[in-house]
Amino acid sequence: MTQQLIHQQFLEYGQSTHELLERIRPFGHAILLDSSQPDALGGRYDILSAAPDRIIRFGPEGLKAFDGQQRALDTEHRDPFAYLDHCLAELGTAQPVDDLPFCGGLIGLFGYDLGRAVEQLPQHAEADIDYPWLLVGRYLWAIVVDHKLRTCRLISHPLADLGLLHQIQQRLAAPASLEPQTFRLTTPFASNLSADDYRNALQRIDDYIHAGDCYQINFAQRFKATFEGDPWQAYQALRQVAPTPFAAFMDMPEGAILSLSPERFLLSDRNEQVETRPIKGTRPRGRTPPEDEALANELLHSAKDRAENLMIVDLLRNDLSRNCTPGSIKVPELFSIEPYPNVHHMVSVITGQLRADTSALQLLRDAFPGGSITGAPKIRAMEIIDELEPQRRSIYCGSIGYISSCGRMDTSITIRTLLCQEGAIYCWAGGGIVADSQIDEEYQETFNKVNNLINGLQRLD
């Protein structure tokens, strides 16, 4: 495989990442992978790009590909993962540059319903959101901000269009346009489930658990409102109230995605070390420091939450083992407590070594969707989710991230994520249901997870 040399131009570190995105938004298909530094726990890189040279969509109508001018491209592929692998292979292998995470490659959304390309699933839930199951661009340039080394670089792949790069450099050198863009809700958020509907669904899950169909089901409700204005302003406001290390903004013609995710799905680095960080177990933040500490300790010592977390750790150990070297799967962190602005989460870490005969994309395919947001066993859990949730999940509980030509992949789980499309805005919240779950507590937990997002948007006007 040809080793491609990546060009890099150092920019001034300390510029607002959001200002940089505003400068490149006019190029179209702009995307920001946002570590929310310095406010978030963890996270290191911000990656921004726009104007991909290839756009890949997949959904019920099959696979469609377009060039940078939105002209349809012929493809013989039916498997979206195989076509993504083809698009990546066309770039060759980029020669690693220092700690640069992205050297040109694929960035985008892998929606929850993409699981239908991997597994045969029922079709009970209503598919009322017309959004691709997969929406990925091939980006040949990016701005990469490294908050550890305190660098900001404009990188470009040798195949990048030189005329486009010149326009980008001009835009970056010009003063940023800081004209305020308004956003406001025009109706309040409403759930797709009443409290009684939610209780009935959880009772049905309890029946399935006691019948031996499953051990855990991640069950969610969806909230919907209407809005007017620019979703970018909404994202910036939410970023203030919910800084998270796997946040993202996708400015797409199909609709904008605003993700404030705290959860990593899959990381595969250049040394083919693999990591996943499932979240299972939640408590609200306390109103005072002693109350906050008590709630964190309650979560840490909760037998129910530990059991729920351990089920998913075992599921993900199995998922990683499909593409990792036998004996390499480890659990270096079990039941760690991480604080966020509105909740405490219980997080575990599973690692492994990718086999030489596979790839990061194959790992993503075989582990998709993430076990922390399905349940166990995974396929039966997904069948029950489709039966009991009234509408399909669309972008929720899928993944956003990148696969770089230099061999690195990093992806999130799209929880705490909103979709803005044709004047409607959607967000979701759920939790893992096990045999000893208390219905009222689980119901309240869903609100604990999204109240800061909903309240943050309601304050915009």
- Indicate which residues carry an active-site annotation: 263, 280
Measured CA distances, 430 to 216, 293, 354 (Å): 13, 24, 31
**Contact 34/144 with Cβ under 8 angstroms?**
no
**Contact 114/134 with Cβ under 8 angstroms?**
yes
**Contact 142/102 with Cβ under 8 angstroms?**
yes
3-state SS, residue 388 = helix
Quote the distance between the C-alpha of residue 361 and its chain's center.
16
Instruction: Give alpha helix (H) positions in 322-434.
Output: 360-367, 378-388
* Burial classification of residue 153, based on how many CB atoms lie within 10 Å of its CB (0-12 exposed, 13-18 middle, 19 or more buried): buried
Report d(CA 151, CA 180) in Å as an integer. Answer: 28
CA angle 143, 147, 153 (to 5 degrees): 25
**Contact 128/179 with Cβ under 8 angstroms?**
no
- Bridge-partner residues for 93, per DSSP? 3
Residue with tokens 């404009």: 154
Report d(CA 174, CA 309) in Å as an integer. Answer: 49
The residues, any chain, with a CB within 8 Å of residue 322's CB and separated by 6 or more, are 363, 366, 367
The C-alpha R_g of the chain, in whole angstroms, comes to 21
Q: DSSP of 40-68, one letter per residue? A: SSS--EEEEE---SEEEEEETTEEEEEET
Q: Which residues of 59-86 are buried (b: 16+ CB within 10 A; e: fewer)?
A: beeebebbebeeeeeeeebeebbbbbbe
- Bridge-partner residues for 291, per DSSP? none
Query: In this structure, what token pair is assigned to residue 292?
Result: 């906050």
Report d(CA 176, CA 156) in Å as an integer. Answer: 22
First to last CA, the chain: 54
**Contact 101/142 with Cβ under 8 angstroms?**
no
